[in-house]
Copies of this chain bind each other. A is one copy, B any other.
């Protein structure tokens, strides 16, 4: 049997905490034998959610905390002062080597800041990027950085390309993933100062499959599997992707219930439509890893339900089994 992967799970973070988080953890435990979940939260909340549930007691450990970081709190201050919060305690478990990974649907800022301050960066990593995966018509891609550090430098983007390639190849299983730089035109002379400086560095970087500029409109069709960018632009691209998808689905659903013909037609197309729309469901893909740390930190959507939590926990197994942190370290040392 393979080695047990220890995953710290923040039961208090996100819109659906603690209920959906706990259910997601229990589903993950049921699905795989080689994980142990360290469930972090307020005692009463954990007791209430676990009461009456069946689970393997030897693979679920409750870690009681007395504080919860709110999403509205300034991240640096929250990490510094709320020492007994589920986020700080969870990240410390990774730092101390008790856990291999930490999964949270809570404050993005606190998870990102805490990941860097508490877990710490792999030697050689300048900046750890947040690298969410999202669906495309041909499979999936990751966009990094999507929120960890705004105003990045060219050398950061080169490391994002290296780390993203390792992640896509060894965690997601895409051989020799294509790397693109997010740009506003396909030609090499297009772009802002950062892109123009980064382009030749990516071109000469060995060990990655750089294909050049990628325009935002071609991302949903799978223009590249690893797309690097500065966090401000990346966050906007990702949020726009999610926003348009959500709005269109809502409008289409509204149209289908606005008339009798629409309702009948809607029933007939439901099975095929559902299959199509499932492809665009971000919760299928688990959370976004913060790459380049001495351990895995995964940030899931604030709106995460049990499915996304479960998938995020399972993702931690591959991450550990494939020794991603070791591979990243070796790859950066080569350059």
Contact = CB atoms under 8 A, between A and B. Distances in A.
A35 to B, nearest CB: 32
Given A151-B193, A184-B150, A272 B245 contact: no
Interface of A: 72, 74, 137, 147, 150-151, 182, 184, 187, 189, 191-193, 195, 215-221, 231-233, 235-248, 250-252, 254-256, 258-259, 261-262, 264-273, 275-276, 279-280
Given A150-B184, A241-B240, A243-B221, A256 B269 contact: yes
Nearest to A258: B272
A239 to B, nearest CB: 4
Contacts of A262: 268-269, 272-273
Nearest to A195: B232
A190 to B, nearest CB: 9
A270 B218 CA distance: 27
A233 B229 CA distance: 11
A236 B255 contact: no
The prevalent SS among residues of A at the interface is helix
B268 A243 contact: no
A223 to B, nearest CB: 9
Contact of A240 (B244, B270, B273): B244
A216 B248 CA distance: 15
A313 to B, nearest CB: 25
Contacts of A268: 261-262, 264-265, 268
Given A219-B243, A262-B272, A276-B252, A235 B74 contact: no
Given A235-B184, A247-B220, A255 B240 contact: no
